[in-house]
Amino acid sequence: MTIEYISLNPSGDKMPLIGFGCAKIPPEQTAEVIYNAIKVGYRLFDGGSNYYNEKQVGDGIRMAINDGLVERKEIFVISKLWCTNHAKEHVRQACQRSLDDLGLEYIDLYLIHFPVALEHVPMHVRYPAGWTQPGEKQVRRARVPMHVCWAAMESLVDDGLVRNIGMSNFNAQLMMDLLSYCRIEPALLQVELHPYLQQDAYVKWIQKQGIAVTAYSSFGPASFAAGGLKHAKSVESLFDNPVIKEIAAKYNRDPGQIALRWSLERNVGVVPKSTSVSRMKSNLDVLNWKMDEEDIQAINQLDMGLRFNDPVIKGWDLPIFL
Ligand code: NAD
C-alpha cells in the first residue's frame, strides 16, 4: 500500500490524504489506539487541544518512535487552536501547550478550530477550556477580530513552532476576507463533508485558491448518532444506504471504504476515527484504486445539505454556518 499525498502551500510539505481522527477517543485508551494506528500504517493524526486527549496522542506517538516503528519526520501531526485562545498572546501560549502535551518540537499543521473568538479561560482555571466560562451555561464572545488571530498564527510559522497553518469550520465569506489580508496563505481548510453534506461549489472554490481540503466526519451521521444526537439517529446510516451498499458490492468493498474513496476522488483528505484495529485497517485500505465516474455521480446524488457538527445543534448561540 502506498499512501497518497497532497502538497501543501506555501511550504510544499507532503500531507497524507488519509489520516486518523483523534477526537472522541477516551484518554485512557488513546495512547494504545494511536500506537496501533501507527502500526497499521497511519501517518497523519488529526488532533486538537479540545479533544481532551492531546497528551495521550503524544504518548502513543512517542511509544511508536521509541519502538522504532516510525521516525518523527514520517508522521504528520495536526493540532487545533481552541476558540478561547484567539488573542495574540493566547495563540502562542495555546500552541506551546499543545507542543508540550504532544511532546513535539513542531506541529505539522495548526488549524483555527472554529471561526469564533470566545472569552479566554486561563489554563490554570480549566484546560481544555470548553465552550463556556466555568459555571456558565451559554457562550461569551470575545472582541478578537480574525485578522489578529491569523497574524498570530503566521508568527508561529515564522518562529518554527508550526510548519503550516489553516482553519476549520470557516465559511466562504470569511475565507474570502482572510485571503484579502493574509501574509501567509492558509494551507488547508477542514470542514464537515460526506455524501449527505457535499458542499461541492465551496470545495471546488477552495481548491482553486490552492488551499487543500480535508473532510471530517466522512461517515456522516455515524459518530453523531453514536454520541446520541437525535437528528443523526433519525437519518439513514451511510453504511446502510442502498446506493452506497450497491457500489460497495460492485467493488467488493465495505460501505465505509466507499464513503472514504468517494472523498479521495474529489482530492479531499479524510481522517476517519476508529478504535478497533480491524476497522482501522479497512478504513486505510482505500488507496490505489479508482471508482468509476458513474458511481461517483450516483453518490453525488445523495447530497442533502445535512450538517451534524453545528454549534447551534449543541445549544450554543453561534449560528456560524448561516
Ligand atoms: P467518523 O466520521 O470518522 O466516524 C466515526 C464513527 O464511525 C465511530 O462511531 C466509529 O466507531 C464508526 N466507524 C469507523 N469506521 C467504521 C467502519 N469502517 N464501519 C462502520 N463504522 C465505522 O467520525 P468523527 O469522529 O466525527 O470524525 C473523524 C475525525 O474528524 C475526528 O476524530 C476529528 O479528528 C475530526 N473532526 C474534526 C472536527 C472539526 O471541527 N474540525 C469535527 C468533528 C471531527
pTM of the entire structure?
A: 0.98
Any domain includes 264: yes
Q: Is the CB of 257 under 6 A from ligand 1?
A: no
Which residue, 13, 9, 132, 138, is CA-closest to 82? 132
2 pLDDT more than 80 = no
pLDDT of residue 320: 96
Model pLDDT, residue 117 = 98
Q: What pLDDT sits at residue 294?
A: 98
Share of the chain above pLDDT 90, in %: 97
DSSP characters over 283-296: HHTTSS----HHHH
Q: What is the distance in A from the centroid of ligand 1 to the CA of 147? A: 31
Decide if 10 is inside a domain. no
In a domain, 315, yes or no: no
Question: Count of residues for the chain?
Answer: 322
Choose which residue among 20, 214, 223 to substitute to test ligand 1 binding: the one with the highest number of ligand atoms within 8 A of its C-beta: 223
- Give pLDDT, residue 163: 98
Residue with cell 454520541: 227
Dihedral pair phi/psi, residue 105, rounded to 5°: -90, -20
Q: Which domain holds residue 260?
A: 15-300
Specify whether 106 is catalytic.
no
> Residue 318 falls within a domain, yes or no?
no
- Pick the atom of ligand 1 nearest to 283's CA: 18
Residue 247 in any domain: the answer is: yes
**From the CA of 218, how far away is ligand 1's center (Å)?**
7
- The overall average pLDDT reported for the chain is 97
**Nearest ligand 1 atom, CA 168:** 41
How confident is the model at residue 1, as a pLDDT?
57
Nearest-atom number in ligand 1 for the CA of 190 is 41
pLDDT for position 30: 98
Q: Each residue of 52-77: pLDDT tens digit?
A: 999 999 999 999 999 999 999 999 99
pLDDT tens-digit map of 275-302: 999 999 999 999 988 999 999 999 999 9
Residue 263 CB less than 6 A away from ligand 1: no
Amino acid 288: pLDDT: 84
Residue 31, SS3 per DSSP: helix
- How many domains, the chain? 1
Domain CATH for 296:
3.20.20.100
Contact 44, 19 (CB under 8 A): yes
Is residue 154 pLDDT above 90, yes or no? yes
CA dist., res. 251 & res. 253, Å (int) = 5
> Average pLDDT for residues 187-207, to the nearest whole number?
98
User: Which residue of the set 35, 42, 51, 110 is catalytic?
Assistant: 51
At 25, list the grid cell: 477517543
- Which tens digits make up the pLDDT trace of 78-137? 999 999 999 999 999 999 999 999 999 999 999 999 999 999 999 999 999 999 999 999
Q: Whose CA is nearest to atom 41 of ligand 1?
A: 168
Residues 20-49 have pLDDT tens digits of 999 999 999 999 999 999 999 999 999 999
Tens digits of residue pLDDT in 215-258: 999 999 999 999 999 889 999 999 999 999 999 999 999 999 99
Scored b (16 or more CB within 10 A) or e, 244-275 reads beebbeeeebbbbbbbbbbbbebebbbbbbbe
In a domain, 293, yes or no: yes
Question: Alpha carbon of 221 to those of 92, 125, 204: distances in Å?
Answer: 35, 34, 23
Choose the residue to mutate in 239, 274, 281, 308 for probing ligand 1, maximizing ligand atoms within 8 Å of C-beta.
Answer: 274
